[in-house]
Amino acid sequence: MATPEVAAATPDQLKGIKEAYEYGFHDPENYAFKSEKGLSRSVVEGISSHKDEPQWMRDFRVKALEHFEQHPMPKWAGGMMDTVDFQNIHYFVRASEKQGRSWDEVPADIKKTFDRLGIPEAERKYLAGVGAQYESEVVYHQIREDLEKQGVIFLDMDSGLREHEDIVREYWATVIPPNDNKLAALNSAVWSGGSFVYVPPGVHVEMPLQAYFRINTENMGQFERTLIIADEGSFVHYIEGCTAPQYTTDSLHSAVVEIVAKPGARVRYTTIQNWSHNVYNLVTKRAIAHEAATMEWIDGNLGSKLTCKYPSIYLMGPEAHGEVLSIAFAGRGQHQDAGGKAIHVAPKTTSTITSKSISKDGGRASYRGLLEIAPGARESKSKVVCDALLLDEESRSDTYPTIRIGEDNVDVGHEATVSKIGEEQLFYLMSRGLSEEEASGMIVGGFIEPFTRELPMEYAVEMNRLIELQMEGSIG
């Protein structure tokens, strides 16, 4: 398959990128409902009541809250997760009473926010469907009619549960059970919004489906829940983006994403995470790939205060293939604890995990990964590559790779590099007329090129803009 060309950002597109975090604005609150701060059984049951859910989902939430209370806090990210104050969070904020099928039906101030983020324009140009979540719920949702006619379901998760309860119940929490970990338990208790995608056998959704997540309120918790089922031989590309205002106090984003790729299906899940630097981003993402299925996580982490995210793939059927391609950019005050996991259960399965991290201004980036080959997964192959780029002396990069191999006849490789921007590289580029900042930016751009070249062109341009923004002021 030909690699798509990636366009460089034009000067016009780069205009304004020096203005710090450009998505840090916030709107006045004019909400239909906002829960009090804190987590309790009554908050959890209140969410279920607001959504008029079936009893089994209400019971699921209550049980999940018990798991959350019983589970210890994970020790990932050097204990930094202990600083999350779960009682200082609003767990449910309903921004609008109804969801729009056209942008004109979305409340004016919220629509203005998405206009500023460029979502309606992107939808017109190159997307097959869009879901826009504002606070706890999806305020706009639309899918192209031709896909709907082919039986493709793309709904917000709340509507998915209402309209397709049987399918949802069959797969719900089978990939990530509520007591898998403390954050999965929290999401299971208070989940709201997210996407439900079902692609029928043999259907290829050629243009991406996009979900956009926006937090507006201070001390807000956003807990979307996404379930994607790609039936046999189908294909879908799902893209998510996220931003929030810059506040002095912290917000929490804790999603659960479950994906099932049935035999011969291919799912690509792309994330451009650009939360403001006051958001804890603690996410559980996991996929099952059945026989000859392909699962790809393309995961870009630029924003947030702390991100803990390790997208994983369970290769359950013979000849299934998994890819995790992740980049993390950790600037001042940021900790990106990212990585990926591939678990080979069936024979002749293959995987690649490529992780690239950039740290600057004292930022900390970690790769935390797992490669596991179960007994019986003979003739499986996997390659793990972790590259770290440190831009100054005060920044930090750590690698925590775990490899477990329970089968003899396999092929496993692991490579790791840590590098700094070399004086010679800078000198060479500056001798061609570039400033030191431009030269550094170009080196960083080249370093993450394996990631940007996998993005649709419009996103690659956006990604380059974000990297330039992150690089701003990095010299001297």
Partner 1 sequence: MANHTATTIDICKADELQPGDRRIVEVDGRKVGVFNSAGELYAIEDRCSHDDGPLAEGPFDPERRTVECPRHGSLFDLTTGRPKTLPAYLPVDTFDVHVEDGVVKLEVR
Query: In the complex, which residues of this chain contact partner 1 (CB under 8 A)?
Result: 67, 173-181, 286, 288, 314, 316, 343, 345, 374-375
CB 386 within 8 A of CB 355: yes
Distance of CA 297 to the CA centre of its chain: 9
Beta bridge partners of 238: 209, 269
Whether 382 contacts 350, CB under 8 Å: yes
Buried b (16+ CB within 10 A) or exposed e, 15-41: eebeeebbbeebbeeebeebbeeebee
Reduced to 3 states, what is the DSSP secondary structure of residue 148? helix
Pick 110 or 185: Cβ nearer partner 1: 185
Dig out the tokens for 134 from the structure: 């504002």
Instruction: Tell me the pairing of strands 266-273 and 235-243.
Output: parallel
17 — phi, psi (to 5°)? -75, -10
SS3 375: coil
* Minimum separation from the CB atom of position 469 to partner 1 (A): 37
Q: How far is the CB of 314 from partner 1 (least distance, A)?
A: 6
User: Least Å distance between CB 182 and partner 1?
Assistant: 11
Written as one string, the DSSP assignment of 398-452 is EEEEEEEE--SS-EEEEEEEEEE--HHHHHHHHTTT--HHHHHHHHHHHHTHHHH
Closer Cβ to partner 1, 182 or 321, answer by number = 182
**Cβ-contact 429, 436 below 8 angstroms:** no
Distance, CA of 459 to CA of 21 (rounded, Å): 17
Helices 119-126 and 457-471 cross at an angle (nearest 10°) of 150
Nearer CB in complex with partner 1: 176/302: 176
Q: How far is the CB of 458 from partner 1 (least distance, A)?
A: 34
Q: Closer to partner 1 by CB, 372 or 454: give it.
A: 372
Between 114 and 297, whose beta carbon lies closer to partner 1?
297
Q: Shortest gap between Cβ of 51 and partner 1 (angstroms)?
A: 23
Which one, 120 or 317, has the nearer CB to partner 1? 317
Residue among 288 and 365 whose Cβ is closer to partner 1: 288
Nearer to partner 1, 185 or 199 (CB): 185
Q: How far is the CB of 4 from partner 1 (least distance, A)?
A: 33
CB of 381 to partner 1, least distance (A): 19
C-alpha 99 chain-centroid distance: 23
Give least dist CB 63 to partner 1, A: 9
Residue 229, Cα to own-chain centre: how many angstroms? 17
